[in-house]
């Protein structure tokens, strides 16, 4: 399928050939010229929103098709199609709330090399539209792609991005599943400057099977009356880690109802910076989750609130494939049952300038046995809001920790730091005066 806008397309055939030509323009006919023959008869025209077939009675060598919003479908017999590079195609919303019109029109551009521009308005979808080797762009939050509201209500994701695909500057709303998916095998893709509201599943769900080299930037998920089920999921499965290579930047997703703000499972090389997010208070998931043999998953400059119904705001844990390693965290987590929970064989983790505040229980808790972990310039403040037994830092296991420059300033905790086991591997250094401790003396890592 070749699509052009206000340009000429030239078809070449070694002999007899056939082409189906669709005029997608709402008001302007397109004209067909064969060599020196000028378009005069109605048979040489394709009316607005019409179709014509150029077929086998004559060779169509040198046929030139010009007009606005043209699609040329090459059938058997055509050996070469040479268009000029098509400029963006501009599409208007149909107003068809069954989703049939907008979906079919957008699906007709699911081909390589085309850019589609959506004007302000609501576009109703009743099936998946995939953008591959092209760009789908809107008029920022004034362009809304949403689930159909009449007829059979579609229950799948609304958009997918394929290899070398770009989706940007639009809103995605009210999907009964995920809003945008990125399948395994997809590589070189961008999702940028997008607004999400009322989607039942994840705003963005990526299932990599190898290096995908994706970019996720400028994402806003509304809270309030139209929150989303979850934020961003990078899911390599439950086994060995998948090298993924995705950058995530400038994220603001609030009030997630079912899933995490950001989850990375069994993936490597995922770098996230400037993440703002929260859960609603009945969500039983962690707000941030790194699990499985994930490696080099960095969450930098985060400011995320959790739920008292979940295990912790940030959870770092194993799955069947192993435990996370070599991950870096900076920023603040707050308003959870626990601020941060590190478990299993999670190792070589680095927490720097890490804040855990206003949590019901512990600010930072370690229950695993991983080695060479560091907690540097940590602040625990206003933890133990439930007024039980809780600490700014609570190491209950044999995990190895260097705790450097800890600032435990919560007034209501049982003690600023607790070390539960005599055979621990904890090395605290540079404690401020007045740091209170409980349990056993640090035995060194």
CA distance 306 to 223: 13
Is 80 exceeded by the pLDDT of residue 428?
A: yes
Is 80 exceeded by the pLDDT of residue 266?
A: yes
Among 431, 427, 428, which Cα is nearest to 445's? 427
Q: Which of 83, 112, 143 is the last residue of a domain?
A: 83
Distances (CA, A) of 381 to 69, 136, 248, 334, 388: 60, 45, 28, 10, 15
145-203: per-residue pLDDT in tens? Answer: 999 999 999 999 999 999 999 999 999 999 999 999 999 999 999 999 999 999 999 99
* Confidence (pLDDT) at 138: 96
Cβ neighbors of 67 (< 8 A, separation 6 or more) are: 6, 23, 25, 28, 29, 30, 31, 46
Is 70 exceeded by the pLDDT of residue 297?
A: yes
Tell me the pLDDT band of 445, cut-offs 50, 70 and 90: confident
Which residue is listed with tokens 């979906």? Answer: 103
- Percent of the chain residues past pLDDT 90, beyond the cut: 75
The answer to whether residue 390 sits within a structural domain is: yes
> Angle at the Cα of 160 (from 80 to 170), degrees rounded to 5?
105
CA distance 344 to 313: 17
Average pLDDT, integer, range 241-253: 98
* Confidence (pLDDT) at 37: 43
Tell me the pLDDT band of 109, cut-offs 50, 70 and 90: confident
332-353: per-residue pLDDT in tens? Answer: 999 999 999 999 999 999 999 9
* Confidence (pLDDT) at 114: 72
Tell me the pLDDT band of 269, cut-offs 50, 70 and 90: very high
Is 70 exceeded by the pLDDT of residue 25?
A: no
Per-residue H/E/C for 206-232: ECCCCCCCEEEEEEEECCCCCCCCEEE
The answer to whether residue 100 sits within a structural domain is: no
Q: What is the mean pLDDT of the chain?
A: 86
CA distance 57 to 293: 63
* Confidence (pLDDT) at 110: 73
Other Cβ atoms closer than 10 A to 222? 19
Q: Which of 83, 104, 129 is the last residue of a domain?
A: 83
Two structure tokens written together for 31:
């004209």
What's the total number of domains in the chain? Answer: 2
The answer to whether residue 63 sits within a structural domain is: yes
CA distance 37 to 378: 79
* Confidence (pLDDT) at 353: 98
Among 344, 346, 407, which Cα is nearest to 380's? 407
* Confidence (pLDDT) at 41: 47
| More confident: 56 or 281 | 281
Is 90 exceeded by the pLDDT of residue 358?
A: yes
The answer to whether residue 33 sits within a structural domain is: yes
The answer to whether residue 347 sits within a structural domain is: yes
Tell me the pLDDT band of 4, cut-offs 50, 70 and 90: very low
Range of the domain at 31: 2-83
Is 70 exceeded by the pLDDT of residue 111?
A: no
Among 221, 243, 225, 226, which Cα is nearest to 234's? 243
Is 80 exceeded by the pLDDT of residue 59?
A: no
Q: CA torsion, points 356, 396, 319, 291, in degrees to nearest 10? A: 20
Tell me the pLDDT band of 50, cut-offs 50, 70 and 90: low
Average pLDDT, integer, range 27-54: 55
Q: Which of 55, 83, 111 is the last residue of a domain?
A: 83
| More confident: 57 or 152 | 152
Tell me the pLDDT band of 7, cut-offs 50, 70 and 90: very low
Tell me the pLDDT band of 90, cut-offs 50, 70 and 90: confident
* Confidence (pLDDT) at 229: 98
Average pLDDT, integer, range 289-318: 98
* Confidence (pLDDT) at 22: 57
Tell me the pLDDT band of 24, cut-offs 50, 70 and 90: low
- Percent of the chain residues past pLDDT 70, beyond the cut: 80
The answer to whether residue 44 sits within a structural domain is: yes
DSSP 38: -
387-401: per-residue pLDDT in tens? Answer: 999 999 999 999 999
The answer to whether residue 349 sits within a structural domain is: yes
Distances (CA, A) of 215 to 228, 249, 259, 284, 288: 21, 8, 21, 28, 19
Tell me the pLDDT band of 84, cut-offs 50, 70 and 90: very low
Average pLDDT, integer, range 298-312: 98
Domain with residue 22: its CATH number is 2.60.290
* Confidence (pLDDT) at 158: 98
pTM of the model: 0.82
The answer to whether residue 421 sits within a structural domain is: yes
DSSP 384-422: -TT-SS-EEEEE-SS-EEEEES-EE--SSSSEEEEE--T
Is 60 exceeded by the pLDDT of residue 119?
A: yes
Is 60 exceeded by the pLDDT of residue 68?
A: no
405-416: per-residue pLDDT in tens? Answer: 999 999 999 999
């Amino acid at each position: 399928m070749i699509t052009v806008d206000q340009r000429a397309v030239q078809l070449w055939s070694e002999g007899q050939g056939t082409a189906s030509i669709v005029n997608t323009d709402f008001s302007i006919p397109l004209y067909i010229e064969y060599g020196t023959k000028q378009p005069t008869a109605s048979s040489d025209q394709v009316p607005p929103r019409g179709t014509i077939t150029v077929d086998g009675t004559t060779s169509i060598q040198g046929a030139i098709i010009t007009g606005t919003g043209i699609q040329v479908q090459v059938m058997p017999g055509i050996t070469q199609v040479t268009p000029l590079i098509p400029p963006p195609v501009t599409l208007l919303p149909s107003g068809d709330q069954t989703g049939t019109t907008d979906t079919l029109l957008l699906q007709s551009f699911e081909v390589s090399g085309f850019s589609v521009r959506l004007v302000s308005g609501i576009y109703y979808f009743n099936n998946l539209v995939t953008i591959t080797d092209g760009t789908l762009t809107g008029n920022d939050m004034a362009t809304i792609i949403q689930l159909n509201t009449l007829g059979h209500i579609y229950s799948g994701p609304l958009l997918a991005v394929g290899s070398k695909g770009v989706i940007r500057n639009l809103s995605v709303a009210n999907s009964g599943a995920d809003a945008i998916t990125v399948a395994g095998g997809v590589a070189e893709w961008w999702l940028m400057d997008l607004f999400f509201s009322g989607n039942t599943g994840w705003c963005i769900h990526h299932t990599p099977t190898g290096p995908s080299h994706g970019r996720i930037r400028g994402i806003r998920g509304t809270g309030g009356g139209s929150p989303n089920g979850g934020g961003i999921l990078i899911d390599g499965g439950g086994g060995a880690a998948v090298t993924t290579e995705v950058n995530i930047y400038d994220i603001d997703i609030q009030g997630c109802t079912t899933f995490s703000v950001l989850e990375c499972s069994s993936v490597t090389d995922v770098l996230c910076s400037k993440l703002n997010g929260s859960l609603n208070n009945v969500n039983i998931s962690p707000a941030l989750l790194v699990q499985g043999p994930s490696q080099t998953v960095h969450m930098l400059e985060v400011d995320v609130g959790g739920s008292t119904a979940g295990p912790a705001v940030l959870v770092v844990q194993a799955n069947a494939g192993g435990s996370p390693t070599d991950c870096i965290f900076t920023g603040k987590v707050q308003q959870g049952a626990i601020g941060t929970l590190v478990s299993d064989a999670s190792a070589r983790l680095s927490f720097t300038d890490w804040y855990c505040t206003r949590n019901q229980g512990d600010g930072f808790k370690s229950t695993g046995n991983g080695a060479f972990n560091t907690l540097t310039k940590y602040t625990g403040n206003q933890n133990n809001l439930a007024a039980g037994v809780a600490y700014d830092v609570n190491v209950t296991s044999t995990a190895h920790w260097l705790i450097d420059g800890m600032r435990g300033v919560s007034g209501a905790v049982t003690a600023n730091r607790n070390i539960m086991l005599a055979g621990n591997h904890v090395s605290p250094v540079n404690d401020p005066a007045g740091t209170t401790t409980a349990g056993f003396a640090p035995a060194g890592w």
